[in-house]
Amino acid sequence: MTKKELAISLSKMDVFVDAKAYLEQYPTDSEIAADVLWFAYLNNDIEDKVIADFGAGTGILGIGCMLLGAKKVYFIESDSKAIDVLKKNLERVKGDYEIINSDIGNFDKKVDLIVQNPPFGTKEKHTDVRFLEKAMPLSKIIYTFHKAETKEFINQYIDRSKHHMTHYFEFDFPIKKSMKQHRKKVEKIRVGCWRLFFS
Ligand code: SAH
């Protein structure tokens, strides 16, 4: 598999039907997912690893990990409608996985890697920090997406934890018109992806 092939496979995934605003259901763009996951793959963070995708939605991050040779992927998602789409997307890939239809708060397995593009806390303040807080004790390596404008705040949070940032990527995140309140067809927001590690 090449990075291009990964991006193409991910671009074919189905996305949310009737995305729910209160859950901030925005799928990660396939090019951005491929960029981050390809980096992670080259960094030996994916192949043969047990991985959890927190707030998996329709599964683009976890499925990308499966395509890149993950040993097993746990998809943790609270919304059963999103899980219906996730199940359809999973029909197209091979590999070991488990879907957990639950709040991330109920997941307590130690894993090698957590990938998460959580709600950015626009609707409910600091939801993304709750995801971080949950992820940190469960995984040495975390790839986590947050709004770039909250960088200082996220960095301060990381500074107080046992993890530290090894890499940071920033993207123009296209938010496609999927909810009634969106006026423009595609809006772009600056989003960062942190790679966190603790040894
Ligand atoms: N990770 C996916 C989806 C991002 S949208 C992607 O990258 O495309 C954020 C997802 O988190 C939504 O599917 C939403 O339903 C889910 N979510 C929000 N709060 C959650 C919680 N407390 N526990 C589990 N999933 C949650």
pLDDT digits (tens, 9 = 90+) for 15-43: 988 888 888 888 999 999 999 999 999 99
CB atoms within 10 A of CB 62: 31
Among candidate residues 166, 176, 175, 173, the one with its CA nearest the CA of residue 197? 166
Average pLDDT, the chain: 94
Among candidate residues 55, 77, 64, the one with its CA nearest the CA of residue 30? 64
As beta bridge partners, residue 189 has 173
Q: Which of 23, 107, 120 to mutate to test the pocket of ligand 1 (most atoms within 8 A of CB)?
A: 23
Q: What is the pLDDT of residues 100-122, one digit of tens each?
A: 999 999 999 999 999 999 998 87
Q: What is the pLDDT of residues 64-74, one digit of tens each?
A: 999 999 999 99
Q: In angstroms, rounded to a whole number, what is the distance separating the alpha carbons of residues 9 and 83?
A: 19
Answer whether 24 contacts ligand 1 (Cβ < 6 A).
Answer: yes
Answer whether 27 contacts ligand 1 (Cβ < 6 A).
Answer: yes
As beta bridge partners, residue 13 has none
Ligand 1: centre distance to CA 126 (Å): 14
Q: Any idea which residue has 């927001």 for tokens?
A: 189
| pLDDT average, residue stretch 173-188 | 75
Q: Whose CA is nearest to atom 8 of ligand 1?
A: 27
Highest mean pLDDT: which of 98-102, 175-179, 183-187?
98-102
Helical pair 127-135 and 151-159, crossing angle rounded to 10 deg = 30
CATH number of 25-198: 3.40.50.150
**Stated pTM of the model:** 0.96
Q: Whose CA is nearest to atom 26 of ligand 1?
A: 55
Q: What is the CA radius of gyration of the chain?
A: 15
Q: In angstroms, rounded to a whole number, what is the distance separating the alpha carbons of residues 44 and 47?
A: 6
Sign, CA dihedral 177-182-187-191, equals: negative
